[in-house]
Structure 1
Amino acid sequence: MDISLEPVTEDNWRACAALSVRPDQQAFVNDVAYYLCMCHYGSVWQPLAVVSGGEVVGFCIWGVDDDRSRWIGGVVVDAARQRTGIGRALVVALRDRLAAEPGCPNVALSYSPDNTAARALYASLGFVETGEMEDDEIVARWSPRDPAGTGGPAGNVGATR
């Protein structure tokens, strides 16, 4: 799947805000407008549009924690474009981009224990559940020093968020 991660701008924010997930997924993600407000009015999260074929097909946010770990959040793929590999391509592209930043010990994300699809996707990409919880969500981490996600001596354990 060929995608690009692009800054959210005055030219594409409306297309981002118009994205929606399936009804059965609404319990697991917020509306993109909520994430855009978090980014605009907070100092932690940065938004990205996911573009394929010149069209906004998804959205995500990322941030840097106090321990310098990078976090992926707010992953949204439009309902009409799901099951095409966009979600997998998005997570891999953002994970690799964040892991390449100097001083990045690991890339983290969190998900509801009930979100079995997300849990399976992230595990297949080498994210390892750490036993940490972020609010009521499971935390999983991927280390550039442990890309297979074995949780071995290279890491995949980190500071609490």
Structure 2
Amino acid sequence: MTITLEPVTAANWRACAALTVHPEQREFVSAVTHYLCLCHYGGLWQPLAAVRDAEVVGFCMWAVDDDGSRWIGGVVVDAARQRTGVGRGMIRALTQRLAAEPGCVNVALSYVPENKAARALYASLGFVETGELEDDEIVARWTGP
């Protein structure tokens, strides 16, 4: 299964906004509409749609920090497509894309300690917890294979 990351555009933003997570996951992520507003009005985050077989199945956003690290945020996999490799494919594709950018020192993300599924996924993809906290979330960084 191939996941491609595409810019959020006038043609696909509604499909991104329609993505939902399971009710018990809502404490870990915001609605995609919130993330889209951050991207549009915040001036920092860049939104991407995760696409499989021409269908939007996930959403993520990324930003560049002052130290050159790339941050992944707002990761949402549609509830109906979870546990099918979408999240893994999306993070793998985004990590490789960001790491290839000139000046990238590492790829970082954060998650709430209680989000065991995210913690396990990111660890399995090579993200290492650093001991840093970002808004009470655990920071993990990927520095390459």
User: What does residue 88 of structure 1 align with?
Assistant: 88
Separation in 1 of the partners of 2:31 and 2:75?
10
Gaps of 5+ in 2: none
Deviation at 1:3, TM superposition (A): 1.1
Deviation at 1:103, TM superposition (A): 1.0
The TM-score, its normalising length taken from structure 1, stands at: 0.89
Structure index of larger Rg: 1
Separation in 2 of the partners of 1:3 and 1:105?
24
Separation in 1 of the partners of 2:85 and 2:24?
19
> Structure 1, residues 82-118: CA drift from partner, whole Å, max 9, x if none?
1000000000000000000011000000000000000
Letter in 1 for 2:143: S
User: What does residue 27 of structure 1 align with?
Assistant: 27
Letter in 2 for 1:23: P
Q: Determine whether 1:112 maps to 2:109.
A: no
User: What does residue 130 of structure 1 align with?
Assistant: 130
- After TM superposition, the runs of 4+ consecutive aligned structure 1 residues lying more than 2 A away are none
Deviation at 1:43, TM superposition (A): 1.3
SS of alignment partner, residue 62 of structure 1: strand
Separation in 2 of the partners of 1:43 and 1:11?
21
Q: Determine whether 1:49 maps to 2:52.
A: no
Gaps of 5+ in 1: 148-161
User: What does residue 151 of structure 1 align with?
Assistant: none
Identity in percent: 74
Higher relative contact order (CA 8 A, sep 6+): 2
> Structure 1, residues 13-58: CA drift from partner, whole Å, max 9, x if none?
0000000000111000000000000000011100000011111000
